[in-house]
Amino acid sequence: GSLLVAEDLHKSFGPTTALDGASFSVHPGEVVAVMGPSGSGKSTLLHCLAGIVAPDAGSVRYDGRDLAGLGDDGRSALRRTDFGFVFQFGRLVPELTCVENVALPLRLGGARRKDAEKTAGEWLERLETADLARKRPGEISGGQGQRVAVARALVTSPRVLFADEPTGALDSLNGERVMELLTGAARERNTAVVLVTHEARVAAWSDREVVVRDGRSRDPEFAR
Ligand code: ADP
Ligand code: ADP
């Protein structure tokens, strides 16, 4: 069955309607691209799915549980333990080295430094960035930074990876490399991926596409 399901979401910001009946679903291990032009509601859909934004109407169910019923603390806990995030710009902590950045989610979860950095090192290796472990984000390229950000997003072994335009700031060669490593690592772990992009070349890495237009989407796989 579906791991994460959104049904008929509506969301307005003041006079602006961002979502006007959006549905979506993703199965464990499936990579689904959320496509559509700028301003169509893709990011808002992702934020509703991740429990960051509350929809005005409609529901989001994760693993059989309604996100609305979890409360703020329940949703924060879920984001820490079950979800991983990659954004357009890596948002690595500039004061920390790459291995410290990747270890951070584990440290916040209570892991000892030594254990956290060992696991972080393995993930840097998986993303072909092991040589960057002791460098700070300001000393590496954008493509390298996004690979480190993917390692940080996956280090807790989330069941869902949310990626909002993860290659938006990269040239096509680096973008392809990030997508290859991201989807490869996710598929290996049976991690579901919600991939927001407006680029067909990026969506080509997904198993299927859900198109959002004027805040509306219909997911043909919905509820299966
Ligand atoms: P996309 O990701 O497809 O570019 P968004 O979900 O970011 O679309 O935005 C959909 C619409 O909602 C846009 O008109 C955008 O300006 C508006 N919007 C999104 N977030 C906010 C917000 N926090 N406050 C006001 N308007 C917003
Ligand atoms: P956009 O995708 O339109 O560029 P941003 O990515 O700047 O917008 O932020 C969108 C939303 O993501 C905001 O509501 C913000 O609170 C949330 N957000 C930003 N960083 C994180 C994070 N590390 N974890 C979870 N939510 C985040």
Q: Is the distance from the beta carbon of residue 44 to the nearest atom of ligand 1 less than 6 Å? A: yes
Q: Is the distance from the beta carbon of residue 47 to the nearest atom of ligand 2 less than 6 Å? A: yes
Q: Render pLDDT for 158-193 as a digit per residue (tens, 0 to 9).
A: 999 999 999 998 899 989 999 999 999 999 999 999
Q: Is the distance from the beta carbon of residue 40 to the nearest atom of ligand 1 less than 6 Å? A: yes
Q: Two tokens at 187?
A: 């598929």
Say if CB 25 and CB 219 are below 8 A apart: yes
Q: Render pLDDT for 85-111 as a digit per residue (tens, 0 to 9).
A: 998 887 899 999 999 999 999 999 999
Q: How confident is the model at residue 162, as a pLDDT?
A: 97
Q: How confident is the model at residue 224, as a pLDDT?
A: 55
ipTM of the modeled complex: 0.72
Q: How confident is the model at residue 137, as a pLDDT?
A: 96
**Whose Cα sits closest to atom 5 in ligand 1?**
41
CA 88 to centroid of ligand 1, rounded, Å: 15
Report the nearest atom of ligand 2 relative to the CA of 91. Answer: 23
Cα–Cα–Cα angle for 82, 88, 90, nearest 5°? 70
Say if CB 182 and CB 129 are below 8 A apart: no
CA 18 to centroid of ligand 1, rounded, Å: 6
Closest CA to 27 of 159, 181, 188, 203: 159
Q: Two tokens at 37?
A: 């032009």
Q: How confident is the model at residue 221, as a pLDDT?
A: 72
How many C-beta neighbours within 10 Å does residue 146 have? 32
Say if CB 206 and CB 214 are below 8 A apart: no
Q: Does the CA dihedral 185-191-196-198 come out positive or negative? A: positive
Q: How confident is the model at residue 102, as a pLDDT?
A: 97
Q: Is the distance from the beta carbon of residue 162 to the nearest atom of ligand 2 less than 6 Å? A: no
CA 117 to centroid of ligand 2, rounded, Å: 26
Q: What residues form DSSP beta bridges with 62?
A: 4, 65
Say if CB 24 and CB 186 are below 8 A apart: no
Report the nearest atom of ligand 1 relative to the CA of 14. Answer: 25
DSSP letter assigned to residue 171: -
Q: How confident is the model at residue 218, as a pLDDT?
A: 82
Tens of pLDDT, residue by residue, the chain (224 residues): 899 999 999 999 999 999 999 999 999 999 999 999 999 999 999 999 999 999 999 999 999 999 999 999 999 999 999 999 998 887 899 999 999 999 999 999 999 999 999 999 999 999 999 999 999 999 999 999 999 999 999 999 999 999 999 999 889 998 999 999 999 999 999 999 999 999 999 999 999 999 999 999 987 776 55
Give the closest ligand to the alpha carbon of residue 166: 2
Q: How far apart, in Å, are the Cα atoms of 135 and each of 80, 87, 92, 181?
A: 25, 21, 12, 20
